[in-house]
Structures are given as structure tokens and as C-alpha cells.
């Protein structure tokens, strides 16, 4: 919860520190940038610093005053973290988390059943909190993580709160996909940009701070495109080897027949825990995308060769496969049956890989 815990985001943090030092804190901010580069941690650091009663001249929280102790314990009554149920489970976040577990009868659209949305009920609760007096001296702060997961109804409700922000209140949205938020929301928030962390900086951090083997850290950072959060999640949920095996199969799709492809998809989907299927498959799609990008550009081929029997799939099929990944991503987000989504994607990829292999002969 300290700015000094966040690496590779000097510009964003410098900007935030100067707002805190001067006391000129915007009522609404949006932190944009790739996932896993420290947006949510920085938002918590801002919340801690804004309410800290003994902050440093640099605008950092002290870590030991009454307010900081509550932030650390996740029990500060005026700081709330809002996120979808799916993300809360995945990230193991703690504290005052509003996930809107109860559905709101006024919200009837199908997507409100998904664990990957932030519902209108959550934003209505937020509105109530924000209009009350703070419980402690200081600011009422709400962090809405992955704000692109707000439903249409929730977005409308949030807009109302952003239009008339209560005094001494701060709302921070974080998102890796700002274009999925309407302009009306974005234009009311000060944008703070987060950048991908250079791979070397990120892998150094993982090996020194998390004691990870250096080679493994380098690989995880590459696969997660410089996202420390993603790299740590992959290591924690032990999905790396599973994902690498799947990518190895992708690299040999042009040699597989249709039955083998379907059998592989079936085995693959069944080996993922039911509750984790969609998030695990979305993580896999990100990494298949990295593999195709590397195949198209020829970078990191040594790394893939070490982990991947099939090697580089070649630029031509790789380029045509990006759209299959995007289609699969959209379908998973719409709660289409994961196995059907993956079957369609792998079969399309297989066709593209075979067509490219045939044209070479
Ligand atoms: Zn403090």
C-alpha cells in the first residue's frame, strides 16, 4: 500500500504524489493501462496516502497512524473496493469489498447473472456510502477495479455519482480496456496512464522480492507481457505448465486431424476446475496471443523452443489466428459454453495452420 512498493510506474506515481502534496486531488480518476502492472495497488496507495494523518512531505502514507493501520487491516470504514465476484475470487483481495452478491430485481438483463460483471446494486450501495458523512476524519474513497466490467445499468448509475461528486470523496476506476467505457464516464475522470513494465525490471523484481528462479521469472514475465500481477497469479494457481502444454499443442495443430483436435480440446477443458474455466481459458488466450505474436515477429523463439516442441508456427497462420482469439474472448465474456468456444477456436486455427502448411509445399 506504499508508492515505493510499485515498480516501473514513475510517471503515474509522480503525478499522483504531486496531487496529494498540493491537496488538489481530483474527485474522480481513471487508471488505464495493461492488467497486472500495479493499477489497483496504486489506487490503494493513493487511498492510504490521502487519509494518512502523518503523511510525508513527498505525499506518501506513514504506514502506522490509525488510518494507515486500518487500511493495512482492510478495515477502513471509508475506503471501499468494488469489483466483480470473479475478480475478487481470482485476486484474493481483502477489505471492504462490494461485489453485489445479491442480484437486484430491477436489473433483469442476462449479463447480470455473470460473475464477471459489476452490477447496478453495487453502484447503488456505493452511492449511499458516498452520500453519507465519513465515519472517520478524512476522505470517502471508492476504488472500482476493472471498471469495464460495469453493466450498462451500473454505468448509468455511476455517471450520476460522477456528475455530482459529494465533497471530500474520491472515486478511482481502474481498467485495462478504457475504450469499453463510455466517453461520458471517461471525460469526468482525470486519466492516469500506466505503462507495461519492462520485462527485465519485472523479472528482477520477481526473483529478488518473491524469490523466484531467475529463468522462470523471465519466462513468466514474457508470457504475461510484463504484468507482475499476471505472472504471480500464474505461479500461484500453478497454471504455467498446463498453459505451456496447451501452447505446445497449438504449435502442432497443422499436423493434427480434426478428431485429435477435438479430443485435445475436450481433455483440456475437462482438466480445468469448473469454477475457474472461463478465467483460466481467458488467461490461456492471452498467452496463445503472445505465442502467435512471437511467431509472426520471430522474437523469443529460443524461449518457445525450450518449452514448446512444435516451435514457431510461422507468420502467415499466426496473423490469421488473432481474430479467432478475439472471437473466443468475446464469447467467453458472454458466457457461451467454454468447450464450444474452444472447439470453434482450435478448429479454425487448425484450418489456418493447415492452409499455410499446404501453400508452402
Ligand atoms: Zn498514516
Residue 40 · residue 174 · CB < 8 Å: yes
Which has more pLDDT, 99 or 339? 339
Among 113-117, 206-210, 301-305, name the one with the lowest average pLDDT.
Answer: 113-117
pLDDT score recorded for residue 85 = 76
Confidence of residue 200 (pLDDT cuts 50, 70, 90): very high
C-alpha 191 to ligand 1 mean position (Å): 26
C-alpha 14 to ligand 1 mean position (Å): 19
Q: What average pLDDT does the segment 58-83 reach? A: 92
C-alpha 19 to ligand 1 mean position (Å): 17
Residue 106 above 70 pLDDT? no
Residue 62 · residue 205 · CB < 8 Å: no
C-alpha 340 to ligand 1 mean position (Å): 51
Which has more pLDDT, 306 or 258? 258
C-alpha 72 to ligand 1 mean position (Å): 10
C-alpha 48 to ligand 1 mean position (Å): 7
C-alpha 57 to ligand 1 mean position (Å): 12
C-alpha 75 to ligand 1 mean position (Å): 14
pLDDT digits (tens, 9 = 90+) for 127-186: 888 888 888 889 999 999 999 989 899 999 999 999 988 888 999 999 999 999 999 999
Domain residue limits, the chain: 3-193, 237-360
Q: How far apart are the first and last CA of the chain?
A: 57
Q: What average pLDDT does the segment 191-220 reach? A: 92
Which has more pLDDT, 248 or 93? 248
C-alpha 143 to ligand 1 mean position (Å): 19
Kindly report each contact of residues 352-360 with a partner whose C-beta sits within 8 Å and lies 24 or more positions away, as own/partner: 352/317, 352/320, 352/321, 352/324, 353/253, 353/254, 353/313, 353/317, 353/321, 354/253, 354/254, 355/317, 356/254, 356/314, 356/316, 356/317, 356/320, 357/254, 357/317, 359/316
C-alpha 291 to ligand 1 mean position (Å): 44
Q: What average pLDDT does the segment 99-103 reach? A: 48
pLDDT score recorded for residue 20 = 94
Q: What is the Cα–Cα distance from 305 to 314, expressed in whole angstroms?
A: 13
C-alpha 361 to ligand 1 mean position (Å): 68
C-alpha 168 to ligand 1 mean position (Å): 18
Number of H helices, E strands in the chain: 16, 6
How many residues make up the chain in this entry?
361
C-alpha 11 to ligand 1 mean position (Å): 23
Residue 342 above 50 pLDDT? yes
Residue 116 above 80 pLDDT? no
pLDDT score recorded for residue 178 = 94
C-alpha 69 to ligand 1 mean position (Å): 7
C-alpha 141 to ligand 1 mean position (Å): 15
> Can you give the pTM of this predicted structure?
0.77
C-alpha 47 to ligand 1 mean position (Å): 11
Q: What average pLDDT does the segment 15-24 reach? A: 93
Confidence of residue 78 (pLDDT cuts 50, 70, 90): very high
Q: What average pLDDT does the segment 33-59 reach? A: 93
Among 110-124, 178-192, 199-213, 214-228, name the one with the lowest average pLDDT.
Answer: 110-124
pLDDT digits (tens, 9 = 90+) for 242-264: 888 888 888 888 889 999 999 98
C-alpha 43 to ligand 1 mean position (Å): 15
Confidence of residue 340 (pLDDT cuts 50, 70, 90): very high
pLDDT score recorded for residue 101 = 43
C-alpha 51 to ligand 1 mean position (Å): 7
Residue 167 φ then ψ, to 5°? -60, 155
Name the CATH superfamily, with its identifier, for domain 3-193: P-loop containing nucleotide triphosphate hydrolases (3.40.50.300)
Amino acid at each position: 500500500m506504499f508508492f515505493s512498493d510499485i515498480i516501473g510506474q514513475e510517471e503515474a506515481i509522480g503525478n499522483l504524489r504531486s496531487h496529494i502534496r498540493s491537496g488538489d486531488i481530483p474527485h474522480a480518476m481513471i487508471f488505464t493501462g495493461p492488467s497486472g502492472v500495479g493499477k489497483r495497488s496504486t489506487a490503494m496507495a493513493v487511498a492510504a496516502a490521502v487519509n494518512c494523518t502523518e503523511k510525508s512531505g513527498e505525499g506518501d502514507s506513514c504506514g502506522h497512524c490509525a488510518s494507515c493501520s486500518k487500511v493495512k487491516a482492510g478495515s477502513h470504514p471509508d475506503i471501499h473496493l468494488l469489483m466483480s465476484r470473479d475478480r475478487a475470487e481470482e485476486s484474493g483481495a481483502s477489505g471492504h469489498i462490494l461485489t453485489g452478491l445479491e442480484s437486484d430485481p430491477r436489473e433483469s438483463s442476462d449479463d447480470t447473472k455473470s460473475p464477471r460483471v459489476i452490477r447496478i446494486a453495487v453502484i447503488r450501495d456505493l452511492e449511499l456510502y458516498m452520500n453519507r458523512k465519513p465515519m472517520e476524519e478524512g476522505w470517502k474513497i471508492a476504488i472500482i477495479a476493472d471498471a469495464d466490467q460495469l453493466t450498462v445499468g451500473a454505468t448509468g448509475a455511476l455517471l450520476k455519482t460522477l456528475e455530482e461528486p459529494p465533497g471530500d470523496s474520491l472515486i478511482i476506476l481502474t481498467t485495462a480496456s478504457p475504450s469499453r467505457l463510455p466517453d461520458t464516464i471517461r471525460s469526468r475522470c482525470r486519466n492516469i496512464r500506466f505503462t507495461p513494465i519492462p520485462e527485465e525490471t519485472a523479472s528482477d523484481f520477481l526473483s529478488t522480492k518473491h524469490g523466484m528462479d531467475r529463468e522462470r521469472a523471465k519466462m513468466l514475465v514474457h508470457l504475461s507481457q510484463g504484468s507482475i500481477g499476471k505472472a504471480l497469479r500464474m505461479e500461484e494457481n500453478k497454471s504455467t505448465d498446463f498453459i505451456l502444454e496447451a501452447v505446445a499443442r497449438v504449435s502442432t495443430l497443422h499436423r493434427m486431424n480434426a478428431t485429435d483436435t477435438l479430443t485435445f480440446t475436450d481433455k483440456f477443458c475437462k482438466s480445468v476446475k469448473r469454477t475457474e474455466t472461463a478465467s483460466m481459458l481467458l488467461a490461456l488466450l492471452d498467452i496463445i496471443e503472445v505465442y502467435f505474436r512471437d511467431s509472426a515477429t520471430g522474437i523469443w523463439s529460443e524461449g518457445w523452443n525450450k518449452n514448446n516442441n512444435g516451435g514457431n508456427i510461422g507468420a502467415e497462420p499466426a496473423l490469421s489466428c488473432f481474430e479467432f482469439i478475439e472471437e473466443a474472448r468475446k464469447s467467453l465474456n458472454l458466457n457461451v459454453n467454454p468447450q464450444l468456444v474452444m472447439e470453434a477456436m482450435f478448429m479454425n486455427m487448425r484450418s489456418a495452420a493447415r492452409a499455410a502448411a499446404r501453400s508452402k509445399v
